[in-house]
Amino acid sequence: MKVYQSNEIKNIALLGSKGSGKTTLAEAMLYECGVIKRRGTIDAKNTVSDYFPVEKEYGYSVFSTVFYAEFLGKKLNVIDCPGADDFVGNAITALNMTDTGVILIDSEYGVEVGTQNIFRTTASLKKPVIFALNQLDGEKADYDNVIEQMREIFGPKVTPIQYPLACGPGFNAMIDVLLMKKYSWGPDGGVPTIEEIPESEKERAQELHQQLVEAAAENDETLMEKFFDQGHLTEDEMREGIRKGLIDRSIFPVFCVSALKDMGVRRMMEFLGNVVPFVNDMPAPVDTQGNEIKPDSNGPLSIFMFKTTVEPHIGEVQYFKVMSGTLTAGVDLDNVTRGTKERIAQMYCVCGQIKTQVDKLCAGDIGATVKLKDVRTGNTLNEKGCEIAFDFIKYPAPKYQRAIRPVTESDAEKLSAILNRMHEEDPTWEIEQSKELKQTILSGQGEFHLRTLKWRVENNDKLPIVFEEPKIPYRETITKASRADYRHKKQSGGAGQFGEVHLIIEPYVEGAPVPDTYKFGNQEFKMSVRDTQEIPLSWGGKLVVHNCIVGGAIDARFIPAIVKGLMDRMEQGPLTGSYARDVRVCIYDGKMHPVDSNEISFRLAGRNAFSEAFRNANPKVLEPIYDVEVMVPSDVMGDVMSDLQGRRAIIMGMSSENGFEKLLAKVPLKEMSSYSTALSSITGGRSSFSMKFASYELVPGDVQEKLLKEYAEQNTEE
């Protein structure tokens, strides 16, 4: 294979909602470039993109697939991304690694929520976008309506390059207003017939051509002057203007295709090869130090590992992008992320599971390697002396959680290794060993996302697992001051145990002064603070301990033991066993024994005194509240709102955004357990949502009663 330079390489992400036809389009693109001799189909389970067993089982893409094509003297690296919102991490990775996004839109359904989400990601990353209207041969396809919808949502920058002469099953011809030609196909698609535009279409074609010329000229002062002088631009000048407009995101070209029948695909490929930006046309990525790293083949060698897969008979396959320099087989590199050394013994250009061995890849190119010792997704590997490091891929917060455990407890270690490996393959699968909940929590983007992982563990790794409802990380706190004392006394022959602790607790409020007097009933307790410990809690809030002992009632050496006793109860609250937070404690009196007092005695005395005081301080349970944002079609807005209100949600606001309604709400985490499934069911999969932690708030009284009862029953059983 020829070695391609940065100015001959184009990196493209293939994007779109589930069912928009990306995998089918990828097959047609590979066929048109001569990479494959026969197009596979999803039904036949023989496509280049969907080659993993789980993808064949479910009939949809789970992983992004890298493929390349040599076309018109350039190298096109394409990453075909899953369309389901659950697998959005793949699309985010792909957009960070590529320079142009091709977004497919199903002409029967128009712009879907998933399409908008992907477009927003391209905007945040400042990536050029090309739209392809697919399935124009579908029964309900409506080109004009979809274009109008796109302009409402994405703005006037949406600029048709082509339009069909007819939609629906009769689709077989279109007008290209860039080349000003008519393209038509036979029933089986393939090679088009190219003709002059018929008289009946000339007026419309000329009008759209003029709009395209103006859009191209706007991006270059020289072209604008020429356009004003002559009223037209040459084909090459238009290409140059469109390329600059793509880079600036001032034009979003629209193409027409039927991927299934291979109509319009080659023409779109020609545009990708001739017009879209090369690697070195785009703004350079920035490293962790804020330095721009240009794709210079003569620069210091640095590669970024962006994807890991585990393939049968091969093991781990690591995908990388050459960020700078020229990579040659056999080179030794430093893993600056992990502080280890690696040898790139073999490297490949990849088309799905087809791997072509190469000896050299230049800056901007994408490749894969195998048999690395200690490399993880997101690592940077450099030549000796190069300090470049990258960390620019940011993934969305999880939306769906399940506790996971093996059916056989002895398989826990094996499951842990499998889950860590899967996190490498898809970083949006997050695994947490929760000390607080005493569960392994698996988080992802939705039910499909986690169900896919379960299928793979049980079918590929032959390890039966169970999903359970995750426990909720409640918090406990108090709402008023309370006093208690406790004497721990134990005699069992020889030295005994003795410790007595008197303390007062109250809610901790940042910046509030310590009262010098507390009153309980007819008794007053004066405080004289000798020293203070502020303990920030890893789960949020604080424990503040004031030592107010006078007259040596308790020796100072026992205070740390008392604090340990307090922390025992902060880590396992008296009400529900959840973490406690925001408590201030004054240790003001006690007793000790010259022989029997020791650390364990005061730790137990402190723990039990704290428990008693806590229960008398009008304790409350707090629950995690999340900010939830839902994007929903207006026709199901009422149903979605009713469902949220049934989940104890507080609706914070509503607004319209690009043809969809946006709902903002605060919802208890407890009520979000099955929300992704419910939302998909209510809206037919046309909605999406995001959620992030907001605060801890008091649970309603009836919910608290239920929690206390459940905890009491659980302790009784144990």
Look-up: residue for tokens 């029967």?
A: 108
Cα gap 657→379, rounded to integer Å: 37
Residue 550, CB half-sphere, CA atoms under 13 Å: how many? 6
What local confidence, expressed as pLDDT, does residue 717 receive?
Answer: 61
Pick the CATH number of 302-382 from 1.10.10.10, 3.30.2350.10, 3.40.50.1100, 2.40.30.10: 2.40.30.10
What local confidence, expressed as pLDDT, does residue 139 receive?
Answer: 92
710, amino acid identity: E
Cα gap 438→430, rounded to integer Å: 16
**Is 413 in contact with 407 (CB distance < 8 Å)?**
no
Residues 6+ apart with CB under 8 A from 43: 59
Cα gap 408→388, rounded to integer Å: 45
Cα gap 51→311, rounded to integer Å: 10
What local confidence, expressed as pLDDT, does residue 511 receive?
Answer: 86
Residue 636, CB half-sphere, CA atoms under 13 Å: how many? 18
What local confidence, expressed as pLDDT, does residue 84 receive?
Answer: 84
Which CATH superfamily is 400-471 part of? Elongation Factor G (Translational Gtpase), domain 3 (3.30.70.870)
Same fold, 400-471 and 621-703: yes
What local confidence, expressed as pLDDT, does residue 526 receive?
Answer: 92
Please provide the DSSP assignment of 106-164 as one string.
Answer: ETTT-S-HHHHHHHHHHHHTT--EEEEEE-TTSTT--HHHHHHHHHHHH-TTEEESEEE
* Fold held by 6-281: Rossmann fold (3.40.50)
CATH architecture of 476-618: 2-Layer Sandwich (3.30)
**Is 64 in contact with 91 (CB distance < 8 Å)?**
yes
Residues 6+ apart with CB under 8 A from 420: 431
Taking the complete model, does pTM exceed 0.85, yes or no?
Answer: no
* Closest among 281, 379, 415, 230 to 7, alpha carbons compared: 281
Return the domain boundaries, the chain: 6-281, 302-382, 400-471, 476-618, 621-703
Give how far Cα 236 sits from Cα of 2, 130, 240, 245, Å.
Answer: 26, 19, 6, 14
Pick the CATH number of 621-703 from 1.20.120.420, 3.40.50.10480, 3.30.70.240, 3.40.50.720: 3.30.70.240
What local confidence, expressed as pLDDT, does residue 190 receive?
Answer: 86
What local confidence, expressed as pLDDT, does residue 412 receive?
Answer: 93
* Closest among 74, 64, 86, 71 to 689, alpha carbons compared: 86
CA dihedral 74, 62, 84, 652 (to 10 degrees): -120
Length of the chain measured in residues: 718
What local confidence, expressed as pLDDT, does residue 718 receive?
Answer: 52
Residues with pLDDT less than 50, the chain: none
